Chain A
Amino acid sequence: MELIKRLRFLLPLLVFASCEDVIQLSVDQGPPKLVVDAFVSNIIKPQTIRLTRSINYFDSSGSEPGVEGATVLLVDTSTFKIFPFTDQGQGQYVFNPNPATGDTFTIGRSYTLLIASGSDTFVSFSTLHRTTQVDSLMKIPVEGNGPPFITTGCYLDMIAYDQPGPGDFWWVKTYRNDTFQNRIDQLNLAADMGNTNNGLDGGMFIYPVRTGISDRTRSFQAGEEVQVEIHSISREAYYWFLLIQNENFNGGLFATPPSNIPTNIVNINPAKKTPLAGFFCMTAAKPFTYLVTE
């Protein structure tokens, strides 16, 4: 898609009369959707599920109202053990795992998400898949020409291996000084060892995945702390992320029709038409922390 998007720059070159301008549009948002943001990992730190409502596309405040007063639970489907998420206000529901009491998630098990909000009950399922870990990070020095272009510093190259056997899907999350790198162009996915579902399996992750932890224009500086987590995700989550990526890169003359991102969360009463969005996925990861040195 990115490839196609670039083609749009051809046209102004060809016809000097073409033009682009920003216009004000009012779009009818319709009823806001209830958004469930439920990516729950097995990492021993507070796990948060967010319930919010979608906002108008042109609302630049960027803050979606939280949905409070809901009951949010995870249930281990084989043992029926319940993991309650407590309402912290502003749509944040938090669970604190505790290995001492056995309140942790187990790889290979599947979990049911249950949400009761108002008169609605929502449900979804996800399996916690095996994970892999970062072996090491390698520094690649970069000589830049300063902002707004590339800054001098280094990129990081992630050395890590896919699990042997096809069917693993990975979401590589990078935290830079404890800040999650959430720009859409930093969304770093892998299907087995490849960046596309091309059948490469079991080896070292290939290049776009390895260097995808770096920010192309803002290279790492000495003293920065980088944490990389390779989260195992479901096949559905992998494609769901690709859809988001597509939607964000979609634009220009050769744009595909905007489409809704599907959700894997269902209302147990199919007659209820509460608009719903979001995703539930159990993930497993082993964080790897690295301090950038001179």
Chain B
Amino acid sequence: MTAYIRSFFFFATFSLLASSAWAQNTVMISGYVRDSASGERLNQAQVFVSSDLGTASVQTNNYGFYSLRLTAGSYNLTTSASGHVTRKLAIKISTDQSLNIELAPQAEAMQEIYIGASRNANTRGLNMSTQTINGQTIKKIPALLGEADVVRSIQMLPGVSTVGEGATGFNVRGGGIDQNLILMDEAPVFNSAHLFGFFSIFNPDAVKDVQLIKGGIPAAYGGRLSSTLDVIMRDGNEKEFKSSGGVGTIFSRFAVEGPLMKEHPLAKDSTKTESASFIVAGRRSYIDFLAKPFLPESLSGSQFFFYDFTAKANYTRGNDRFYLSTYLGDDVFNAVDAFGFKWGNSTATARWNHVFNPRLFSNTTYYYSRYRYNFIFDVGGNRFDWQSYIVNNSVKSDFRLYANSKNEVSFGGQMTYYRFIPGEAEANNISGRTVFGLPDRFGLENALYLSDDINANGKFSVRAGLRVSQFLYLGPGKVYTYYPAWEVGQRRFVESITESKKGEVVAQYINPEPRLGLKYELSKSSSLKAGYNRMAQYLHLISNTAASVPLDVWQPSTNNIKPQLADQVTLGYFKNLVLPLKSKPDAALETSVEGFYKTLQNQVDYIDGASLLLNEFLEGELLTGIGRAYGLEAYVRKNSGAFTGWISYTLSRSERQVEGINNGDWYPNRFDRKHNLNIITQYRLNPEWDFAANWAFSSGTPTTFYSGQYTVQGYLVPDAGSKSRNNVRNPNYHRLDLSATWTRRKSDKWERSWVFSVYNAYNRRNPFSIYFDTNYKDLGQNAAIRYSIIGSFVPAVSYNFTWN
């Protein structure tokens, strides 16, 4: 490890020296790109300069900061960002200069739903397999019960799928739901679902934008195999107070934001300013109130609701900017005298942005993140109370060095301490109170990374990075060793149990994770890109149910569970087409075709009949195997004009091979879908009326059916045949959603809108699963039961308002 650290710092120092050596005849222009109405920092805005001396461009980082190195002279500077009017400035620079650029949001009347980054950013940038959706777009996609939703929108993108309605999470390029790193303002969340997955935990009122990275993942990200979903929350309006909210069928929302301190120059140095702003947003569902009249008396005191609360404040002073943000959310289900069930995430993040000089930007983050669930079961005097947690505390630092016109270097490190409390349980019955549970587990995950975006010449660029991650499985705790299985695929029994001391390293894993991105510009509007990434994942979600349940337990890598590894290569062609429309000369189509091939190692699977809940010897129930996923994604997106939207199509396969399952042959993963087609359309008829429709189609997911039965000692034994795992496909899934939004602007200050929506418009009964019951309705007969979570069309009306 020390060798890695040493070489890392050597490289970092070398880069810094190299950059200062070349800094002789050039000047730096740097600053923030902001929204002129709210002061919100705009990430992924494109800053482009041109003159006789040449051209250069840069994209703002996640905090809206940009920096460009230029030869002194006069330039035309063009800045563009999604949802904003492109701004052109003529600048003349002779010394290092700080320039904050404000972009006006596109006027309400001509607001075009502008999706994705700026024009040609997709072909010019090094990013591939990356999609961005901004908060405004998410709000326009028709959704269940008229409620805009981040994760449901993500599921419309190429390469992303879900097991079905009501399934927690999402699957990216044939990866499991636990293989997505979901970051909310830098803090990871471990369950992104409210209500088993019908809604996600992100309040769209507070979301600035969402970036999903599926391939060519930069070295700054790590810890999960398949994707990174970076949810960036809004900073809060710096210029004026604003409130917004909505009343929907299932929940209500409310958000307030505004300046805490209006921007003003500092007394000491008038070139620098000071400002502060905040945003607070909350949601609560009221199914319990609505359901009350329909519930039997025995359930009348029941609580069924979820809520979430997001708060964020920031303070800027000169070259420093501080953020504090927090999220709290829970789903609560309490049926009186029967069971109680509660789960939720909470996070707290403190961040510090510092601009050392125009060349070096840094962000330092501390976060605390916790996922918890609690299950109470109380029937006939038998009470069972179970809690489980995963808690992590992390410190990370990220630096971006705009070294010279050819190199943009990112480097940093992260240290995360995990505490896993897999189960604390208490049982009470007539024979007394028993406290039991599983021992806590501890882990420390460290990572260092260095990445350089090298612009070799105008057309060819390379992003070369290396991330080195380390995981320590720490004491105190019980350390289990297991005998080999008596037969492949069977349970392994404990050989010995020893105690480890506090801080003792029980198992250690180190993985170098190389990352590579290549881009070659074929023309101004087309490019070829290729990417490779290796990812290591030290946390595992233990689940073998058809739909992931909130009860699923996160486990660290241990002496018995090895870290998961993935290697992915991606190749893509990106092309922007200009439509020959006279009225809209700018109207363009972004298109891309990408192929990927991914191999996975140490994938966790389970022995037949595994017992995963509160099992001290869980590790003996696990099997490991390999996986592979490959596919082709096609994507066409129209970003401007009254008519916008996208079409995404994915042809893919995701398979697994585990000794002891399916005769050791490859079998399709539970979330394998061959075809996946999404058509998202939005049409603005006039400033008052917006219409949207989307249609989703996907091949049925595989599932395992019993085929035979027999009896032994009078007990019925269902039998799945010889090659059984995921041997049958569910029927295809398809669904049409429609929505219409009517917006009324009463005054400059007051705007309201009504959203009318129909989900599953043509009443398709999509099976979530087909399952078997060996004693259906106590008739003692076997039956196949189709379970549709949404078995009919679902109309809804919701009301939204904003007030300045």
Listed in ascending order, the chain A residues whose CB lies under 8 Å from chain B are: 1, 3-4, 6-7, 10-11, 13-15, 17-25, 27-30, 32-33, 35, 37, 39, 52-60, 64, 180, 182, 184, 187, 198, 206-207, 239, 242-244, 246-248, 250-262, 275, 277-279
- Given A25-B784, A251-B772, A275-B722, 16 further pairs, Cβ under 8 A: A3-B377, A14-B304, A18-B789, A20-B787, A22-B776, A39-B713, A55-B708, A207-B431, A239-B609, A242-B609, A244-B712, A246-B609, A253-B771, A254-B547, A255-B545, A258-B718
Q: Is B726 an interface residue (CB 8 A)?
A: yes
B743 within 8 A of A: no
Are B712 and A279 in contact, CB atoms less than 8 angstroms apart? Answer: yes
Contacts of B569 in A (CB 8 A): none
A30 and B714 in contact, given A21-B786, A59-B709 (Cβ under 8 angstroms): no
Chain A residues within an 8 Å CB radius of B150: none
A4 and B791 within 8 A (CB): no
| Known contacts A21-B785, A22-B783, A259-B609; is-contact A55 B707 (Cβ 8 Å) | no
Known: A18-B788, A242-B609. A33 touches B719 (CB 8 A): yes
State whether A56 and B707 are in contact (beta carbons under 8 Å apart), knowing that A3-B613, A4-B545, A17-B794 are contacts in the complex. yes
Q: Say yes or no: A20-B545 contact (C-beta < 8 A), given A255-B771, A258-B720.
A: no
Among residues of A, the one whose C-beta sits closest to the C-beta of B486 is: A236
Once A22-B776, A207-B429, A251-B772 are accepted as A-B contacts, the answer to whether A15 and B790 lie under 8 Å apart by CB is yes
B233 to chain A minimum Cβ distance, whole angstroms, is 27
A259 (CB) vs chain B CBs: closest residue = B608
Which of B608, B713, B722 is close to A262, meaning CB atoms less than 8 Å apart?
B608
Contact status B769-A11, CB under 8 Å: no
Residues of the B chain whose Cβ atoms lie less than 8 Å from the Cβ of A15: 166, 198, 789-790
Q: How far is the CB of B536 from chain A (nearest CB, A)?
A: 27
Least distance between B115 CB and chain A CB atoms (Å): 30
Of the residues A6, A54, A248, contact of B710 by C-beta under 8 Å: A54
Given B613, B720, B785, which contacts A259 in the complex, CB threshold below 8 Å? Answer: B720
Assess whether A11 is in contact with B789, with CB atoms less than 8 Å apart: yes
In the bound complex, residues from chain A placing their C-beta under 8 Å from that of B722 are 30, 260, 275
C-alpha gap A21/B792 in the complex (Å): 13
Contact present for A258 and B704 (CB under 8 Å) = yes
Assembly CA distance A22 to B377 (angstroms): 29
On whether A184 and B786 interact (CB within 8 A), knowing A11-B196, A254-B547, the answer reads no
* Residue pair A37, B713 in contact (C-beta under 8 Å): yes
A7 CB to nearest chain B CB (Å): 7
> Is B716 part of the binding interface, using a Cβ–Cβ cutoff of 8 Å?
yes
| A58, A180, A257, A262, most chain B CB atoms within 10 A | A257
Contacts of B551 in A (CB 8 A): 4, 7
**Does residue B724 face the partner (Cβ distance < 8 Å to A)?**
yes
Chain B residues closer than 8 Å to A1, beta-carbon distance: 611
A252 touches B608 (CB 8 A): no
Q: In the complex, are the beta carbons of A277 and B719 less than 8 A apart?
A: yes
Provide the bound-state CA to CA distance between A252 and B770, in Å. Answer: 8
Q: Is the CB of B708 within 8 A of A255?
A: no
16 contacts between A and B (CB under 8 A): A7-B551, A19-B765, A19-B791, A21-B785, A23-B785, A30-B722, A33-B710, A52-B711, A56-B707, A57-B718, A184-B716, A198-B436, A207-B429, A257-B726, A258-B705, A261-B717
Task: State the CA gap A256–B724 with chains docked (Å).
Answer: 13
The distance from the CB of A171 to the nearest CB of chain B, in whole angstroms, is: 9
Nearest residue, chain B, Cβ from A185: B775
B719 and A261: CB pair below 8 A? yes
Given contacts A55-B710, A257-B544, contact A23 B770 (CB under 8 A): yes
- Return the chain B residue nearest A36 by Cβ: B712
Bound: A25/B730 CA distance, A: 12
**Within the assembled complex, what's the spacing in Å between the Cα atoms of A65 and B768?**
36
Q: A57-B706, A258-B705 are in contact. Are A251 and B771 (CB under 8 A)?
A: yes
Q: Which residue of B lies closest to A38 (CB)?
A: B712
Per the bound structure, the CA–CA distance linking A53 and B613 in Å amounts to: 34
B725 within 8 A of A: yes
Q: Are B771 and A180 in contact (CB under 8 A)?
A: no
Give the distance to chain B from A177, nearest Cβ to Cβ, in Å. 15
A-chain residues with CB within 8 Å of residue B304 when the two chains form the complex = 13-14
Quick check: B715 and A23 within 8 Å, CB to CB?
no
Is the CB–CB distance between B782 and A57 below 8 Å? yes
Q: Is B688 an interface residue when CB atoms closer than 8 A count as contact?
A: no
The answer to whether A30 and B195 touch (CB under 8 A), given A11-B166, A184-B716, is no
Please provide the 9 A-B residue pairs with the shortest distance between their CB atoms, ordered closest to farther: A182-B714, A259-B608, A19-B791, A243-B609, A54-B710, A254-B545, A54-B708, A25-B784, A35-B710
- B457: interface (CB < 8 Å): no
Is B715 touching A187 in the complex (CB atoms < 8 A)? yes
Taking CB atoms, residues of chain A closer than 8 Å to B789 are 11, 15, 17-18, 253
Contacts of A207 in B (CB 8 A): 429-431
A37 to B721, CA, bound (A): 18
Write out, one digit per residue, whether chain B residues 669-712 have a CB within 8 A of any chain A CB (1) or not (0): 01000000000000000000000000000000001111111111
CA–CA, A72 to B706, complex, Å? 30
A248 contacts B774, C-beta separation under 8 Å = yes
Tell me if A29 and B721 are in contact (CB < 8 A): yes
Q: Please, which residue of chain A has its CB at the minimum distance from the CB of B489?
A: A262
Complex Cα gap A20–B787 (Å): 5
Q: How far is the CA of A29 from the CA of B703 in the complex (A)?
A: 16
A residues less than 8 Å from B545 (CB atoms): 4, 253-256
Does B522 touch A at the CB level, under 8 Å? no
The reply to whether A57 and B377 form a contact with Cβ atoms under 8 Å apart is no
Contacts of A33 in B (CB 8 A): 708, 710, 719
Given that A23-B786, A254-B546, A260-B719 are known contacts, is A243 also in contact with B608, CB under 8 Å in the complex? yes
Establish whether residues A247 and B718, one from each chain, have CB atoms under 8 Å apart when the complex forms.
yes
Closest to B166 in A: A11
Q: Are A260 and B608 in contact (CB under 8 A)?
A: yes
Question: Which residue on B lies nearest to A32, using beta carbons?
Answer: B708
Cβ B549 vs Cβ A7 within 8 A: yes
Determine the chain A residues whose CB is within 8 A of the CB of B291 once the complex forms.
Answer: 13
Q: Which residues of A contact B776 (CB under 8 A)?
A: 22
A10 touches B715 (CB 8 A): no
CB nearest neighbor in A for B379: A6
Determine if A252 and B771 form an interchain contact, defined as CB atoms under 8 angstroms apart.
yes
Question: Which chain A residues border B703 with CB–CB below 8 Å?
Answer: 257
B53 CB–A CB distance under 8 Å? no
| Interchain CA distance A277-B774 in the complex, whole Å | 19
Q: Is A262 a contact of B431 with CB atoms below 8 Å?
A: no
Give A198 to B614 CA distance when docked, in angstroms: 11
Q: Which residue of A lies closest to B548 (CB)?
A: A254
Complex interface residues of chain B between 609 and 641 (CB less than 8 A to chain A)? 609-611, 613
B578 contacts chain A at the CB level, 8 A cutoff: no
The answer to whether the Cβ of B801 comes within 8 Å of any Cβ in the partner chain is: no
Contacts of A54 in B (CB 8 A): 708-710, 719
Chain B window 266-309, contacts with chain A (Cβ cutoff 8 Å), 1 for yes, 0 for no:
00000000000000000000010001000100000000100000
Which of A14, A28, A57, A250 gathers most chain B CB within 10 Å? A57
Partner of A17, one of B610, B611, B790: B790
Residues of A within 8 A of B195 (CB): 14
**Complex contact B787–A278 (CB within 8 A):** no
CA distance A131 to B728 in the complex (A): 45
Residue in A25, A252, A260, A262 whose CB lies within 8 Å of B705: A25
Residues of chain A within 8 A (CB-CB) of B132 are: none
Q: Please give, as numbers and ranges, the residues of chain B lying within 8 Å of A246 by CB-CB distance.
A: 609, 611
Give every chain A residue within 8 A of B769 (Cβ-Cβ). 253, 255
Find out whether the CB atom of A255 lies under 8 angstroms from the CB atom of B609.
no
B773 in the interface (beta carbon within 8 A): yes
- A56–B709 alpha-carbon span in the complex (Å): 6
Chain B: CB-nearest residue to A171: B713
Q: Are B708 and A56 in contact (CB under 8 A)?
A: yes
CB distance from B544 to the nearest CB of A (A): 5
Q: Which residue of A lies closest to B725 (CB)?
A: A257
* Any A CB within 8 A of the CB of B781: yes
CB-defined contacts of A182 to chain B, threshold 8 Å: 713-715
B32 at the binding interface (Cβ < 8 Å): no
- B491-534 vs A, CB cutoff 8 Å, 1 = contact: the mask equals 10000000000000000000000000000000000000000000
